Structure formats: C-alpha cells, structure tokens
A = this chain, B = another copy of it.
Amino acid sequence: MNKRLNVSTFIGCEAEYDEADIVLFSVPFDGTTSFRPGTRFAGQAIRPDSYGLETYSPYLQKDLEDTAIYDGGDLDMPFGNPEKALEVVSHYSKEVLQDGKKFLMIGGEHLVSLPTIEAAYEKYPNLHVIHLDAHTDLRDEYIGEKLSHATVIRRCHDFLGDGRIFQFGIRSGTKHEFDWAKEHTYLEPFSLTTLKEKIAELKDVPVYITIDFDVLDPSVFPGTGTPEPGGISYKELLEAIQQFQELNQVVAADVVEFSPPYDTTGASTAAACKTVREMLLTLVD
C-alpha cells in the first residue's frame, strides 16, 4: 500500500527538485485578462489529463522518462494585485535558473511571461525571444495600465531592446502596433513560414520560447481568452517544435493563455498537454 500523500504531477515528471534538470510549474493568474477569464485553472486541468498521453514522443523520438523533471505545481498567487503576483513568479523562476535548471512555465495569462523572460535575461544578457501568438501584445499601455496581457511583449522590449524579439503567426493588433513592430521586432503576420530561417540565425544564442496558445486556430484551441480565427493548425505547431530542436540554447519556455472553462470538449486540454510534453522534451539537451 502506497502511503504517500496524493501527488498530482504531469505524466512522467516525478523527479525530486534537487535531482531534476528541468522544472515544470504553473501560474494561476489571470488578473488583467480583458475578455474571457479562466486561465488560472490551466495547471489544474492539464495535470490529470496528461495521463491520456504517452510519455514517448514519436515526433521527437524522446521520452519524458529518460530525463529528470520536477513538477512544482501551481505557485501560490495573491488575488487582485498584479504587481505582487509578478514578484512571486520572478522570485521562483530566478531561483530555478540559479540552481542551474531550465524551466517550462504553464500560464496563466500572457503577462506572467514578463517576470520569467526578465529572469532569463538577467542570467543570459544576450537573450532572444521567439514568440508565437495571434496578437502583437505590443501596446504601450492598455486602458491606462502599463502591465497587461496586451502589453507584455512591449514590456519585454523595454529591457531587451531592438532585434531580440521574433514574432510569428500574428493576426491581430492596432495599425500602430504593426507599424511599431516594423522598427523594433521581427514580425511575420498570419503564419510561421520564416520560422525555419530565423531559427538558423538564432542557432547558437540563448533563446526563450513563449507560446500563446491562441496562435492556434480556435477550431484547434477554443479554450482561450481571446480566440482569433485564422490561426495555425496543430500540425503546423508540431512542425515548429521540431524546428526548435535545431536551437542549441533553449534556456526556458512557457505556454500561456489556456482557459479551461471554455474547453467544453476537452480538445484544448489535450492540445495543451501534448504541447507541454513536446516543449519539455525541447528543453532536454
């Protein structure tokens, strides 16, 4: 008889923290979401359904069981106070990096990528960011707020500067955001066609990958806060992930904006689980 307190981790992620090379954690925060909230529940939804998957990826021909991965669960978040929430994430992700581990964060809304990208930048000043999303996220402020899911990449640009951000699949924004991107980021609208050539350029620099699930078409991933039709298919996302294997220094990554209350069929949960598996395997050296 197993007498351990009930543990609930992502499939194949039962290593203890100290022995782990990779850390998985989730951030139940959706405090600046402007349309449909609920991303706070992403971590809770993903873990149990991950057992509908195998630990083996026939795409990458790697197995989660061949690596030591620790799953720390949901971080404890304050409610109604974005600044404090971001501090918690900042503290946690910096500690993981200081301990010489990589991490994959499950959002939460996209704003939670700000402290993790900043933490990675602190450790790797030459950090570059690959950003898959439907939205530019380049506003300078949103309804008067500097910190918002709609400003997160702009806030990252504040410290990263020009030439460091590579955006793909973007299909929504103001005219001003698209114009601003022309001078400050690399932005491919609508698709991922140029991802391969950009990856070749980024082959040997430290890279952080941030995937907003709404880069997928809402037919594939309806369970998100701001569904935007005309996105990529799941096969296209899988091809992108296969291309990521060419990168030699993926230092951390995140997947954000999965909102379980809008996933009435479970198909978004399944897509989220599979993406977590593939991205964990991407972090394996």
Contact = CB atoms under 8 A, between A and B. Distances in A.
Contacts of A92: 1
Contact of A267 (B31, B147, B227): B227
A141 B189 CA distance: 46
Interface centre among A17, A79, A264 (most CB of B within 10 A): A79
A82 B173 CA distance: 26
Contact of A220 (B17, B56, B217, B270): B217
A70 interface: yes
B265 A34 contact: no
Interface SS of A by simple majority? loop
A217 B218 contact: no
A230 B145 CA distance: 38
A200 B131 CA distance: 38
Interface centre among A3, A95, A264 (most CB of B within 10 A): A3
Contacts of A234: 217, 219, 229-231
Given A78-B144, A79-B33, A218 B270 contact: yes
Copies in the complex: 6
Interface stretch (A47-55, A114-122, A155-163): A47-55
Interface string A50-88: 011110101101010000001111100011111010000
Interface centre among A56, A227, A271 (most CB of B within 10 A): A227
Contact of A228 (B33, B74, B270): B270
Interface centre among A223, A226, A228 (most CB of B within 10 A): A228
B78 A1 contact: no
Interface in A225-272: 226-231, 233-235, 238, 261-267, 270-271
Contact of A63 (B30, B59, B175, B217): B175
User: Size class of A's contact patch?
Assistant: 35 or more
A35 B56 contact: no
A85 to B, nearest CB: 10
A84 B9 contact: no
Contacts of A51: 35
A123 interface: no
B84 A266 contact: no
Interface string A172-203: 11110010000000000110000000000000
A228 B17 contact: no
A53 B171 CA distance: 11
A92 to B, nearest CB: 6
A37 interface: yes
Nearest 10 pairs of A and B residues by beta carbon: A6-B73, A32-B80, A222-B265, A8-B8, A218-B267, A37-B37, A3-B17, A222-B267, A227-B270, A219-B219
